[in-house]
A and B are shown apart, each in its own frame.
Chain A
Amino acid sequence: MPWHIAALQQLINGLALGSVYALIALGYTMVYGIIKLINFAHGDIYMLGAYFGFYAITMLKLSLVPAMLVSMAAAALVGVLLERIAYRPLRSSSRIAVLITAIGASLLFQSTAQLVFGASFKPFPQALPFRRIQLGPVFITNRQLLIFGVAVLLMVLLHLIVNYTKVGKAMRAVAIDKEAALLMGVNIDRIISATFALGSALAAAAGILVGMYYNRIDPYMGMMPGLKAFVAAVLGGIGIVPGAVVGGLLMGVAENLVVTIGSSTLRDAVAFAVLIVVLLFRPNGLLGKKGIEKV
C-alpha cells in the first residue's frame, strides 16, 4: 500500500479512536470546568460502563441500544455516588487532597472490578456482525461507522443540554462563578451531581463502543485511554466543551499516524509528548483563552 493511502486509512482509524477519546474527554472537561478537579477515576467509569454493557447484553439479553442505555444509566449512578461519597466532603480542602482522593477512587474501581469481574479479559459480545465498506482505496468498518454515529449523536445531545436547558445554563453559571450562581439560587450540589452523571454516561457509551471495536474488555482498560482523554481535554483547552472534541479527534489521529510512521510501542509516548508541548506553549489549550491570574 502506498504511504498516502496507508495514511488515509490511519486517518479513518484515528478519527474512530479519536471520537472515543472525545467522548471520555467531555466528562473530564465538564467536571474540571465546574469543580476544578481532575477526576482520575473517570477512565475507570469508562471501564465500568463497558462491563455494565457486557452484562446487559449477556445476562439481561438486551440488544445493543437498550444495553447501552442501561449501562449509561448505571455509570451515571456510579459517577454521582463517587462525587457524593469521595469528593463532596473534600470540596473545601486543598486541591491536592482531592486529586489524591481521585487517584484512590481510580485504584479502588480497578481492584474491585478485578475482584468482581475477574482479572483476565472478556471477549465482548458482538451485537453487530463485522462488515467492511470499501471507499475507493480505503475501507471503513461498520463498527467504526457505529462509533462515529453514536459519538456524534451524543455530542449533539450534550450540546443541546448544555446550551438550551435550564440545567445546562446552571452548569455554565457554576463554571463561571460558583458564589454568584449560588446567590442566584442555583442548587450547586445538584448541578455538580448532574455534571458527574452526564460525564459518566458519555464515558460508559465510549466504553461499550471500544469494547465492540477491540472485541475485549478488562479491568485495566480504563487507565491509558483515561489518561489520554485527559490529555485530549487539556489539548483542546480544559473546561471548554468543544475543545474536548477537537482535542480527542486530534489525539486519535496523531496516535494512529505515529503507528504508521514508527513503532506501535511509541504510541503511548505520543500522547504525553503532545501534552508536555501543549502545556509549555499553550497552557490554556488550543481553544482556550488566556486567563488573568489574580493575586
Chain B
Amino acid sequence: MKRLNSLISCTALLLVYLVVKLLESRGILLPYHVQILSLCCINIILVVSLNLINGFTGQFSIGHAGFFAIGAYASAYLTVHLQLPFVLAIICGGILAGLAGLAVGLPALRLRGDYLAIATLGFGEIIRVIILNTDAVGGARGFSGIPKYTTFGLAYLTAIITVVVIRNFVTSDFGRACLAVREDEIAAESLGVNSTYFKVLAFAIGAFFAGAAGALFSHYLQYMAPTPSQIGFVKSIDILIMVVLGGLGSITGSIFAAVFLTIIPELLRGFAEYRMIIYPILLIVVMIYRPAGLLSGQEFSLSNLAKHFKGAKAHGNHS
C-alpha cells in the first residue's frame, strides 16, 4: 500500500511537470506564467523550511529572510565571480546558510518564545546590514548581472526534494523529538530528549533549504537588492504569513499557502495597494478564528479525505 502510494505520488509529480512543459511548448502557458510557477516552487521551499522551525519544532523564527539572503548572495557570488556550476552554487549557498542557522540556533538554547523571535529578527537585520556594507556583492547598489540559471524544472525538483526531506525528517525519530520539544520542552527533556540538539538541528536544516531557495531566487530574478522587502524583515514576515495561513505543522498547508499567496498577488496586480490591506486583515481573522492556521497539524491527502468521508457516513448511519 505504501509503495503504491509513493508510486502514485511520483507519477502525479511527473505528470504535473510534463503538463507544464506541454502547455509551455504549445504556447498556452506564456514564459510569464512559467516564471510565476518557478516563484511558487521557490516559495514552497521557503515556507516548508520555515514550518520545520516554527511549526514542527515550536521555535519562533522571524529571521528566515536572513538565511535566504545568505544563500542568494553567496551563490550569486560563486557563479558570477568564480564561475562555479549552478548546482554546486546552490549547495554551497545552502551549506553557508545552514552554518548561519547553527549560529542562530545556539542562542536559541537560551531564549524562548518572544525573545527568540526578536533575536532572530535582529539576526536577519544584521545580515542585511552586513550585505549592505559589503562592496564585493554590490553593497547598497544591489547585486546585478546574475546569470539566469533557474529554470522551472530545477525549481520544481528542488521543491520536491525539500518537501520529501522535511516530510521524512518530521516522521522520523528526529522529527518526533522535535514535536516533543514543541509540545513540552521540560517533559521532553525529562524523557531524555536533548532539546538543545534538536532545536539547533531544526534551525540548521531549515536554514539550509532557505539558502537553497535564495540561490534559486537570485538566479531567477538576476538582481538582488538589500532592501527590507527583498531580503529583510518584510520578506521574513511574508514567509511567516504563508506558514501561518497554511497551518503551523502542516506541510501540505504550507504548499497550498505558498502557491495561493504567490499567484493571488499576480492576479490582483491592479489592486496592489489593497492587497497589502487584505493580507493583514486575513492574517488577523485567521488568527482569531483558527489560531493555529487553516490546516493546523493536519496533512491533506486523498486517503485522509476518503477516511473523512467514510467516517462521516458511518457517523450518519449510527444516528
Contact = CB atoms under 8 A, between A and B. Distances in A.
Interface of A: 36, 38, 86, 89-90, 93-101, 103-108, 110-112, 114-115, 223, 227, 230-231, 234, 263, 265-266, 268-269, 271-273, 275-276, 279-280, 283, 295
A100 B276 CA distance: 16
B117 A104 contact: no
A99 B123 CA distance: 18
By secondary structure, the A interface counts as: helix
Given A114-B276, A283-B110, A283-B111, A100 B118 contact: no
Contact of A93 (B119, B125, B133, B291): B291
Interface in B269-319: 273-274, 276-277, 279-281, 283-284, 287-288, 291-292
Contact of B60 (A99, A223, A265): A99
A272 B122 contact: yes
A111 B277 contact: yes
Contact of A276 (B119, B130, B133, B237): B119
Contact of B129 (A36, A94, A268, A280): A268
Given A265-B129, A273-B126, A104 B276 contact: no
A27 to B, nearest CB: 16
Contact of B111 (A104, A110, A279): A279
Given A107-B276, A272-B123, A279-B119, A96 B113 contact: yes
B24 interface: no
Contacts of B119: 275-276, 279
Contacts of A107: 237, 276, 279-280, 283
Nearest to B139: A265
Which of B121, B123, B130, B287: most chain A Cβ within 10 A? B287
Contacts of A268: 125, 129
B107 A90 contact: no
A111 B273 contact: yes
A269 B129 contact: yes
B132 interface: yes
Interface string B244-262: 1000100000000000000
Contacts of A104: 241, 279-281, 283-284, 287
A38 B126 CA distance: 20
Contact of A279 (B107, B186, B241, B277): B107
B233 interface: yes
Contact of A103 (B126, B240, B281): B240
Nearest to B277: A111
Nearest to B276: A111
B210 to A, nearest CB: 19
A161 B59 CA distance: 37
Nearest to B243: A100
Contacts of A97: 287, 291-292
A85 to B, nearest CB: 8
Contacts of A111: 273, 276-277, 279-280
A108 B283 CA distance: 10
B132 A265 contact: yes
B266 interface: no
A252 to B, nearest CB: 17
Given A269-B129, A279-B119, A38 B287 contact: no
